[in-house]
Each structure stands twice: as structure tokens, then as C-alpha cells.
Amino acid sequence: MSVVQTIRSAAATAIKELYKQDIPVDDIAINVTKPEFEGEYTIVVFTFTKFSRQKPEETGNTIGTYLAARFPELIAGFNVVKGFLNLSINNDYWVQYLQSNFNNRNVGHKPANGKKVMVEYSSPNTNKPLHLGHLRNNFLGYSIAEILKANGYEVVKANLVNDRGIHICKSMLAWQLFAHGDTPESTGIKGDHLVGDYYVKFETLLKEQAEPIIARVLENDFRDFSGADLERVEKLGALLHKPEIHADKEKSDKIHDEIKELARNKTEIMQQAKIMLQQWEAGNPEVRTLWSTMNGWVYQGFDVTYKRLGIDFDKIYYESETYLLGKDLVEDGLRKGVLFKKEDNSVWIDLTNDGLDQKLLLRGDGTSVYMTQDLGTARLKYDDYQMDLSIYVVADEQNYHFKVLKLILEKLQEPAAEGVFHLSYGMVELPHGRMKSREGTVVDADDMITEMVNTSAQHTKESGKLKDFSEDELQRLYEVIGLGAMKFFLLRVDPKKRMIFNPEESIDFHGFTGPFIQYSHARIKSILREAGVTDTSHLDTYRHNDSLLPLEKSLIMLNEQFGEVLEDAQKEMSPSVIANYAFKLAQEFNSFYAEKVDGKYTYSIVNAESEEKKNLRLQIITHTVHTIRRSMELLGIEVPERM
RNA sequence: GGACCGGUAGCUCAGCUGGAUAGAGCAGCUGCCUUCUAAGCAGCAGGCCAUUGGUUCGAAUCCAAUCCGGUUCACCA
């Protein structure tokens, strides 16, 4: 049990004995004592005055006296300031904690809880390479999976690849038209980038072809349209000429966008892409062959990137194999009366009682939509793994979708419903706004990695250390540091907040960063080497004749808090909790390391003032090195032995 | 318009299950490398915690309203 929990339960005992009150242990507020006061942890006693019927100070004193008398092995002393009961924890308690935990390489780990969880993340489209937004998704998913594992869950990491659809056909068509048979091998271009280049070509051509159509619409020439589209576009054209709309930029922009979308659909190239999609669905052998060939190139490219990022999966689902699922759920739903049909044979669910709208699940022609697929996939995943929890790492623009998905599953009484959890995260934006592929402002993942690795190489060279490293070792180190900087940058912020990335300023290597923590790790390792301590070395028991010095104590305390931090990170579903903690610990270690009085290190380890102190400090930094390493591993970040 | 998310130092963010004088990093300014790695340490400066009201012994934190920014409400995925 953690120290904080131990104090809580001791306080609960005190309150029960003193005031005959049963209060829930978690209702007892415990803070770390402010540095200006004596003590390590503080109980807030204001709330107890209700039943103590004493002033806060008296209440604090009464409880403090009781605790010191009843739990002397834990509480060495106390003082009361206003309604705050500051507790001094017995040095022996810290030392005992340290001695039984300092060499635990899996600090903070919870035993298996028998629960299974699936984390779906990454889920890329196979028509273009990964970009910065995907990186946040990948790092988050990987990290959450690791955090869940450390909290005792059995984890399945899943990737649902979006490998079919109109966007894939766009790349395929453009390749057919312009590539003259080019392949990754013939061009030397990474497969996902090659395919992405043709996607861009398609979009360029599409834009070219759409322009004259848009121009005609704006001049009230609707010859490109017929049927329902004609009606719609005529209406939009008329709206646009109304002065009140013309004056409202937001509204007129919206109308322009819709006209643009309608026009894009009428282009020749778009028509061809749609035909190709139909051919794909019909199983046309030529189209299918092209499809699997080009997807193969993309996968080769993705594999390289995933490998470099250290991202992996236990299970890969392909949308081409799941996109027809869900129809049987719809049949079930109709039978149960949860769903209903409209005149045109389309199938809907009415969510108006839940404050939402009606939602379409099958079109009039019987084809399914995104939601239908996701319902089917949810059932498939559950049939495959019967997990207790199913996490979807997906950007917050899909909040509504997942709310509806869970609700529909509940209404259909699917067993998968309960576990559905949308781990929603904010978009990564540029200083000028969202990344837009059509405007070429997308930050490519591979470019980004290369840049980070180059920067780390530059920093390393400037430091002038590591002259004895081989070229391979150096290259390996640059990767570890560059990726560490990038991963930490994207994980240190609360997932649900959107974040701004400024490519001009790039990512820092100083301060609250991955390299800072990696550096602290390397520093400790260096001391351990100097002291001749290895993983298997036996450290003598510290005979605690002297009291603990301030930073010795605070480092032990911080290390001891890791278990609670790990639980918090899981409860909050937020790796940033770990990132903040790891930084604080590294920072504390650096203060410990560097403190000097009159030119002498206060906490010298190799040249400590006594053998006992040397052993104590070696234990402290050994614990710290394990905690830092574990924290970073939970973020998917490696820590170097030297840097 | 409805729903959801955010607004804390010049910038990027912690703190938000109510607790002491609101914390970090970056940027700016001072110092510190003969001694376990200066990707570091110590310090200075920087705040009407969006606004207004409420609840409370106590509010950045909870409630209400307002303002600003974002996302979403497709027979797209």
C-alpha cells in the first residue's frame, strides 16, 4: 500500500476512534506538504470539524497526537497550521521502503486483474503516408496500451486499416493514368509516399476539372447538372445572389463549399473513380490486382515507419474484410423493433429521446454506411476477444460518432456495448490552423522523424562527448533521442487538448522534454558505472544513523509515488500524467546531483562522506533510474546508457 | 440553432474528485564547468486563473449566465 493510502487509513482509524465517525478513506484529503512547513504529507482537517466540534487547530492536534501515539513506525511527528495537519513521516519508514523496493525493475506494476482490453489505434488510410496527426494517435495508443498492461490488464493492440473506398481508388486511378508503370523499386520512392503522390495528382486534376464547372454555376449556367443535383445547385445559386447572404461571409462560404463539392462530383475524373470503386466492389480482377499491388507498396512503407517508431500491433483488421459487416445487426435490430424502415426502404434508429437525431444505418438500396460497419466491427472484435474494455483512439472530431455508436450498441443489447470507450484526442494544428492536404500544409511523419533525428545528431556532436562511439552506436543514439523528443512532445499534453505545432520552432531538447529525462537517466547510469554497481550488484543495507537529508528524502518520496501516478494515468487515460511525473523526478534528481556548498557536492555518491551514505544514495539513484526508465517505457521512449 | 470540448505568465502547458502565498518549461536577465555527464544547476523578473454572479469557513477548481476559440449535428469515412 502506498504511503498516502497508509496515512489515509490511519487517519480513518483515528477519526473512528476519536469521533466515532465512519468516513470513506478516499474522502480524506492528503496533500504533499508545502516546502515552507515541516513535514512530508498534510491532512486537511477542516472537514472534520463538523463532528469534532472543535476548532480546526484543536482537531488537527487531537488527530496528530493520536496518530503519533498509535502509529509511531509511520508518524514521527506533526505540527498544525490553521486547518492543516502536517505529518513528518518516520525516516525508518522511508528507508525501509527504499531498501525493499530500490532494485525492483518493474516498479509500480499491478498484479494481473483478469481483465482484457483492446486498444484500437493508428488505423491509417492506405492512400497516403502518415502525418503528424497520425503520430499523436500512434504514440497515444501505444502508450495507453503499455499503461494498461502495467495496471494489470491483458492488452490486445489492434489496427483497423482503412484499405478500401473512394479515396483509395483516387490514387489507383491517377497511377493508372500517369505512372507509366512506376513502382517503388523503379523510382526508389517509399511505397506509401509513391501512392500518396498519385493521390495528390488526382486531387490536382480534380481541382482543374471542377473549376470550369464552378465558374459556370456562378454564372447561372447549370448544364453540368441534372435531377436532384440540378435542383440543389439552382437553389444554391439563387441563394448566393441574395444580398443578405452575400454580406454574410460565413454563410456564403458554406454555400460556395457545397457548390464546390457538387461540382467535384460531376468531374470526369471523379466519375471514373466512382466506376473504379464499383468495379472493386464487383470484384473486377484487374482492379483488385492493382488495388492489392498498391496497398502492398503502402504496407511496405508503413512497416518501415512503424518499425522506426517502435509501434506494433497484435491484431490487424482490414476494412475490406469488415465493411460489409453490420447488416445482420441491423436485421436483429429490426426484429427487436429498435430500428425502423422508411418508405424508401432505408433503415434508421431514432435517438431523439436521447437528445440526438435520427441516424441512418442502411441506405434505401440496402448498402451500409460508416456507422453500420462500425457496429459490425464492434461485434466482430467482441466475438474475437470478449474483452471487458474496447478503446478507440480516434480524434475528437468523431466524438459524436462514438457517442452514437455506443448508444446504438446498447439499444441493440450487444454485449460489446458496455466496454466501448472513445479515447478522444485533439487535433495537432499548425500556427495558422489545421493541416490541409489540399493546401499542402501537411507535416509528413517520415520527414518529421528525419528532422528530429538530424537535430539530435547536431546536439550530440556539439556536446563533444561520445568520441568513442562507433558510427552505428551514434546513429542508434540519434534515433533514440530524436524520437524521444518527438514522442515526449506529443504525449506530454493532455490528450483531449488540441495542440499547436510550430514547424519553424521545431521541438526543444532542453527543459520539459524527452532528452532532458533521457539525459538524467544517462547521468545516473554514469554514476553507477563509476561506482561499479551493476544490476546484479548487492548493495549493503544502510544503517541509518544519520537522518535523511532533504533531497534524499524527497527523491525517495517521489519514487514511492510512482504507483499512484500509474493508476492515475490509467484512470485519466492520459500518458501526460506519466510524462509530467517523469520530468519532475528527473528534475529532482538533477537538483540532488548538482547541489554544491562551498565547492563540494552535498550529495556526492562516489565520494560520499560515509559508506552508509554511499549505499543509501546508490539505492536512491538505482530506484530513480528504474522509475525513470519505466516511466519512459510507458511512453514508448527508450533511455540511453550514455548521451 | 442544439450538443460536446477548450480559455491559467509574452509563448507552450501542469494544477481542476474544493484547501495554505497558483506551478513548470521556453523566451528575457544574473550567476555556476580543476571535483560522479553544463542536453545541467541556482537565482531574478513575469498572473484581475476569459467575464459576472452564486454556493462555501475556503473557489483557478463546483453551479449559473455571458464572451471568445474549436469540433460536430451527411444516404462521406
- The reply to whether the CB atom of residue A25 sits less than 7 A from any atom in nucleic acid chain B is no
What is the pLDDT at residue A545? 60
Nearest residue to nucleotide B23, by CA–C1' distance, is A584
Q: Please list, in sequence order, all residues whose beta carbon lies within 8 angstroms of the beta carbon of residue A180, skipping any fewer than 6 positions away.
A: none
Q: Which amino acid is at A288?
A: R
Lowest-confidence range among A183-197, A376-390, A525-539?
Answer: A525-539
Rounded to two decimals, the ipTM of the complex is 0.96
A431-to-A339, A427, A501, A510 alpha-carbon distances in Å? 45, 12, 7, 22
- Considering all CA atoms of chain A, what is the largest pairwise distance in Å, rounded to the nearest integer? 94
Lowest-confidence range among A138-147, A277-286, A424-433?
Answer: A424-433
What sign does the CA torsion over A158, A160, A163, A168 have?
negative
Distance B45 C1' – A247 CA (angstroms)? 48
What is the pLDDT at residue A543? 64
What is the pLDDT at residue A612? 86
Type and span of the H or E element at A238:
helix A227-240
A635 touches A513 (CB < 8 A): no
Nearest residue to nucleotide B36, by CA–C1' distance, is A527
SS3 A341: strand
User: What's the pLDDT tens digit per position in A29-86?
Assistant: 999 999 888 999 999 999 998 888 888 999 999 999 999 999 999 999 999 998 999 9
Nearest residue to nucleotide B13, by CA–C1' distance, is A493
- The reply to whether the CB atom of residue A297 sits less than 7 A from any atom in nucleic acid chain B is no
Type and span of the H or E element at A392:
strand A389-395
Q: Please list, in sequence order, all residues whose beta carbon lies within 8 angstroms of the beta carbon of residue A537, skipping any fewer than 6 positions away.
A: none
What is the pLDDT at residue A39? 92
What sign does the CA torsion over A579, A581, A586, A587 have?
positive
Cell of A276: 473504379
Give strand letter and number of the nucleotide nearest A362 (CA to C1'). B75
A517 touches A601 (CB < 8 A): no
What is the pLDDT at residue A544? 59
Give strand letter and number of the nucleotide nearest A501 (CA to C1'). B12
Cell of A293: 499491388
Mean pLDDT of the A518-540 span = 88
Lowest-confidence range among A108-122, A134-148, A527-541, A602-616?
Answer: A527-541
Mean pLDDT of the A145-169 span = 96
Distance B71 C1' – A243 CA (angstroms)? 29
Nucleotides of strand B within 7 Å of the protein's CB atoms: 2-6, 12-15, 17-21, 24-27, 32, 34-42, 57-58, 70-77
A555-to-A102, A616, A624 alpha-carbon distances in Å? 12, 12, 8
- The reply to whether the CB atom of residue A248 sits less than 7 A from any atom in nucleic acid chain B is no
What is the pLDDT at residue A395? 94
pLDDT band (50, 70, 90) for residue A413: very high
Q: At residue A250, does pLDDT exceed 80?
A: no
Give strand letter and number of the nucleotide nearest A456 (CA to C1'). B39
What is the pLDDT at residue A150? 97
Q: How far is it, in rounded angstroms, from Cα A576 to Cα A39?
A: 28
Q: At residue A142, does pLDDT exceed 80?
A: yes
User: What's the pLDDT tens digit per position in A340-377?
Assistant: 999 899 999 999 888 888 999 999 888 899 999 999 99
Residues of chain A with pLDDT > 90, as a percent, come to: 77
Q: Is A379 exposed, middle or buried (0-12, 13-18, 19+ CB in 10 A)?
A: buried
Q: How far is it, in rounded angstroms, from Cα A171 to Cα A193?
A: 11
Does residue A48 or residue A430 have the better pLDDT?
A48
CB atoms within 10 A of CB A466: 14
Q: What is the mean pLDDT of chain A?
A: 92
Give strand letter and number of the nucleotide nearest A458 (CA to C1'). B39
Q: At residue A542, does pLDDT exceed 70?
A: no
B/e letters for A319-347, b = 16+ CB within 10 Å, e = fewer, are: bbebbebbbebbeebeeeebbeeeeeebb
Q: How far is it, in rounded angstroms, from Cα A622 to Cα A532?
A: 12
A578 touches A566 (CB < 8 A): yes
Walk across the sheet containing A428-430 and list its strands.
A433-434, A428-430, A499-500
Q: From residues 337-356 of A, list those within 7 angstroms of strand B by Cβ.
A: 342, 344, 346, 355
Q: How far is it, in rounded angstroms, from Cα A185 to Cα A297?
A: 10
Q: How far is it, in rounded angstroms, from Cα A45 to Cα A52?
A: 10
Q: How far is it, in rounded angstroms, from Cα A635 to Cα A642?
A: 20
Mean pLDDT of the A500-520 span = 90
Q: At residue A241, does pLDDT exceed 90?
A: no
Q: At residue A505, does pLDDT exceed 90?
A: no
SS3 A67: helix
Q: At residue A160, does pLDDT exceed 70?
A: yes
- The reply to whether the CB atom of residue A642 sits less than 7 A from any atom in nucleic acid chain B is yes
Mean pLDDT of the A198-216 span = 93
What sign does the CA torsion over A430, A432, A434, A435 have?
negative
Mean pLDDT of the A241-248 span = 73
What is the pLDDT at residue A242? 77
What sign does the CA torsion over A219, A223, A224, A230 have?
positive
Architecture (CATH level 2) of domain A3-89: 2-Layer Sandwich (3.30)
Q: At residue A540, does pLDDT exceed 80?
A: no
Ranges of each domain in chain A:
3-89, 165-282
